[in-house]
Amino acid sequence: MTSAARSGGGGGLGRGLAALIPTRSSELSATEIPLSRIQRSRHQPRHRFDEQELASLAASIAEHGVLQPVLVSETLDGYELIAGERRVRAAERAGLRSVPAVVRQVADRERLELALVENIQRSDLNPLEEAEAYRELAQTFGLAQEEIARRVGRSRPTIANSLRLLTLPDSVRASLSDGLLSEGHARAIAGLESPNQQEQLAGVVVARGLSVRQTEELARRLKRGFAEPEVSGREIRADPDSERLEADLRSALGTKVSLQSARKGGRIVIEYYDSDELNRLCDRLLGAGA
């Protein structure tokens, strides 16, 4: 459910799991490992597993077996799972006693990065799980946002915007985790400074099924001092052409861009979150006009 564009630079883990597994054929060969000897990863970023998807995967594994090996690291007591927890869970449901696995020794930080990249590439994480993994890379392993972005194949603004979701009130984060709010909704709500306003706006969005564009407009109204968010009136009606243009601008600039119409003309609002991002935007805009 993450929709931000991925960065194309820098190498690192963003190239995918294949880039991190040794390429010599002897090391790539999978070994059958008993499920009883595989421990769950200490750094699994994913906390929720869809029961229906697991049941479907278990049925497929029962019929065809595990087609893609899991990735594990050897420990004193057996093996620790690095990537492939859903396959392991489904294999257990299917009644298998062992699964094919590639064994690789990696450091703790790389275990988290590998698990994070796999889940990102499969779109398996909800926005909060992804944000929490970024926070662990920053706080536990001391990585700057720029380094996190390079290693997981994202842009730095995407990492910054993701981390901002963790500042939302518990009730808003619960709605995001449950899928009642999208990441776009949550980012608009996170733009408000008051937790009370954030909860108020989230309640209106969920109750009335508002679009991300409407949510952004209501957030702007609250910032301007309106006591309560209103959802009627022409000013928050979605304009498909404007929404497409906003999406194109966001993709081109790698940050939030909004169009604000007036009776005559309007404004293009480009947001930035620190001086580094401002410099990056200036370089891109001035370079484009050169």
Residues 200 and 271 placed together within one structural domain of the fold: no
Residues 232 and 261 placed together within one structural domain of the fold: no
Residues 30 and 64 placed together within one structural domain of the fold: yes
Amino acid present at 126: N
Has residue 161 been placed in a domain?
A: no
* Beta strands, E only, the chain: 31-34, 38-39, 70-74, 79-83, 98-103, 257-261, 266-270
The most confident of the ranges 133-142, 190-199, 249-258 is: 190-199
Confidence of residue 236 (pLDDT cuts 50, 70, 90): very low
The most confident of the ranges 8-12, 25-29, 185-189 is: 185-189
Q: Which of 209, 237, 265 is the last residue of a domain?
A: 237
Residues 42 and 96 placed together within one structural domain of the fold: yes
Report pTM. Answer: 0.51
Has residue 110 been placed in a domain?
A: yes
pLDDT tens-digit series, residues 19-51: 444 333 334 578 899 999 998 877 666 667 778
Q: What range defines the domain where residue 102 resides?
A: 12-122
Beta carbons within 10 angstroms of residue 228's beta carbon: 11
Q: Are 189 and 199 in contact (CB under 8 A)?
A: no
85 tagged catalytic: yes
Q: Which of 32, 51, 74, 85 is catalytic?
A: 85
Amino acid present at 14: G
CB-side neighbour CA atoms (13 Å) of 190? 22
- Beta strand pairing call for 79-83 and 70-74: antiparallel
Q: What is the pLDDT of residue 100?
A: 92
Has residue 164 been placed in a domain?
A: no
Q: Average pLDDT of the chain?
A: 76
Residues 16 and 104 placed together within one structural domain of the fold: yes
Has residue 104 been placed in a domain?
A: yes
247-263 average pLDDT score: 73
Confidence of residue 11 (pLDDT cuts 50, 70, 90): very low
Q: What is the pLDDT of residue 120?
A: 62
Q: What is the pLDDT of residue 171?
A: 92
* Count: domains in the chain: 3
- Tell me the CATH number at 36: 3.90.1530.30
pLDDT tens-digit series, residues 154-169: 888 888 999 999 999 9
Q: Which of 201, 216, 237 is the last residue of a domain?
A: 237
Beta bridge partners of 80: 39, 73
pLDDT tens-digit series, residues 265-289: 667 878 777 777 787 888 888 875 4
202-206 average pLDDT score: 90
Look up residue 94 and give its two tokens: 């299917």
Has residue 278 been placed in a domain?
A: yes
Alpha helices, DSSP H only, in 94-144? 108-121, 127-139
Q: What is the pLDDT of residue 3?
A: 36
CB-side neighbour CA atoms (13 Å) of 109? 14
Q: Which of 107, 122, 137 is the last residue of a domain?
A: 122
Rounded distance between C-alpha atoms, residue 130 and residue 123, angstroms:
10
Q: Quick one: how far is CA 142 from the chain centroid?
A: 20
Q: What is the pLDDT of residue 229?
A: 53
- Beta strand pairing call for 70-74 and 98-103: parallel
Has residue 47 been placed in a domain?
A: yes
- 70-74 sheet: strands from edge to edge: 31-34, 98-103, 70-74, 79-83, 38-39
Rounded distance between C-alpha atoms, residue 8 and residue 160, angstroms:
17
Residues 211 and 270 placed together within one structural domain of the fold: no
Residues 33 and 109 placed together within one structural domain of the fold: yes
Residues 219 and 243 placed together within one structural domain of the fold: no
Percent of the chain with pLDDT over 90: 14
